[in-house]
A and B are shown apart, each in its own frame.
Chain A
Amino acid sequence: MKNLTIPEEELMLPGHTACLGCGATLAMRYALKALGKNTIVTIPACCWAVIPGVYPARTLEVPLLYTAFEVTGAAISGIKNALEATGNDDINVLGFAGDGGTADIGIQSLSGAVERGENVFYIMYDNEAYMNTGVQRSSSTPKGAWTTTTQVGKVRDWKKEKKKNMVEIMVAHNIPYAATASIAFPEDLIKKLEKGKNIKGPKFYHIYATCPTGWRISPSKTVEIARLAVESKVFPLYEVDHGVYNITYMPKKNVSVKEYMLPQGRFRHLTEDEIKEIQSEVDKDWNLLLEKEKWTQSLNKVQ
């Protein structure tokens, strides 16, 4: 008898070259458990472009196509259309890109694919900087973080801008389904991907994937930090199904942003006042999300 809460089938082999405690590999492992063997994955330049290992090694049990940095959205559109033209309608096509390849460099092709209503999955695994090339700031890096391009020395130049909200950008495209998910909540992540299989049109997932190397934390804390991000409301878990917001996990413990930031070396330069300022922004965003949920659900009932 097995005591499992997620599917047993493994479509990711061990022996890959990810760092110790990599959150992005967990994201891929869960995504393939949900989508199954009938999947084609497309990966642009990102951490996952090096994780499968040195040529000719492969680590995924499904077909994988490498593309240039900015064309994940276009590549998955092309693959899906070619499959449909040849009568293979039951194959899931997944674009799996990092935050740099989605929020910065790949946003135009993703925007085009979503606007055209392509029937594809798109996962942005968010490690909150360009980790593959050595921790450079991206538009998905949170406010307050240290990176090698927002350094903290005599001149305190930590990132002053807020993180880009990709789910909101997708909602503005009238996307049928967009959701956030976290590697610390695999059951929720898999449920959202399985739900996407029954929705026609583009599906966007923003998956929080811890990076111990770039965040200056112990590799053993990968899942713990991801859980704290959800509990402290820094990264709320919700979905937007045809415009209707639904918070899928209500934080149970009252965790402050300080408790989330304290174990991470990338935030250690922040003063009490700066953390308080970030806390008030997180609270504001959370309250806004609660209101959006209430408002969109009440609109839905009227119809």
Chain B
Amino acid sequence: MNDDFPTPITTEPSTKNKTGTWRTFRPVIKYENCIRCMICWKFCPEPAIIIVDSNKYVAKNDAIKKLDAPEINYDFCKGCGICANECPTKAIDMVFEESLEE
């Protein structure tokens, strides 16, 4: 193979590309209403929802407190709103970003 024209091989992970800057609406989880069913995690196309330790957030009751909780990674969330649309308890609000900056 000619060394002047090596085969282009991708090396850097796309996580250096912070797609969170695309966002117009920010999803905010209301943990007091969250039942930790992880449907938001399941349908996130980024995926920008991660699973965190059960004690990190408040929970509705003790049974739910035992389950690991979802957390949104705002570095990558593009704000499509699938999580808010699919949430069975409507525990995710889509908040206009500019209203948060004030």
Contact = CB atoms under 8 A, between A and B. Distances in A.
Given A14-B15, A52-B10, A29 B45 contact: yes
Nearest to A184: B43
Nearest to B23: A20
B32 interface: no
A25 B80 CA distance: 13
A1 B66 contact: yes
Contacts, number: 115
A2 B67 contact: yes
Given A4-B38, A221-B85, A223-B82, A26 B43 contact: yes
A12 B16 contact: no
Contacts of A218: 81
Given A57-B13, A58-B13, A14 B46 contact: yes
Interface residues of B, number: 40
A161 interface: no
Interface string A209-250: 000100000111111100000000000000000000000000
Interface in A128-175: none
A62 interface: no
B68 interface: yes
A86 interface: no
A213 B22 CA distance: 15
Contact of A15 (B14, B41, B51, B67): B14
Contacts of B15: 13-15
Contacts of B47: 10, 12, 14, 29
B8 interface: yes
A3 interface: yes
Interface residue range, chain A: 35 or more
Nearest to B66: A1
Given A14-B14, A57-B12, A2 B68 contact: yes
A87 interface: no
A20 B10 contact: no
Contacts of B43: 26, 186, 223
Contact of A2 (B9, B12, B38, B45): B38
Contacts of A20: 22, 78-80
Given A3-B36, A220-B82, A55 B10 contact: yes
20 contacts: A1-B66, A5-B38, A12-B47, A15-B14, A15-B15, A16-B14, A16-B17, A16-B19, A16-B46, A18-B45, A25-B46, A57-B10, A58-B12, A59-B14, A186-B42, A186-B43, A220-B80, A220-B85, A223-B85, A224-B86
Interface of B: 8-19, 22, 36-38, 41-43, 45-48, 51, 54, 66-68, 73, 75-76, 78-82, 84-86, 94
Given A26-B43, A222-B45, 17 more contacts: A2-B38, A2-B51, A3-B37, A3-B67, A5-B38, A13-B14, A15-B16, A17-B14, A17-B19, A25-B46, A53-B17, A57-B12, A58-B11, A58-B12, A58-B13, A219-B81, A220-B85
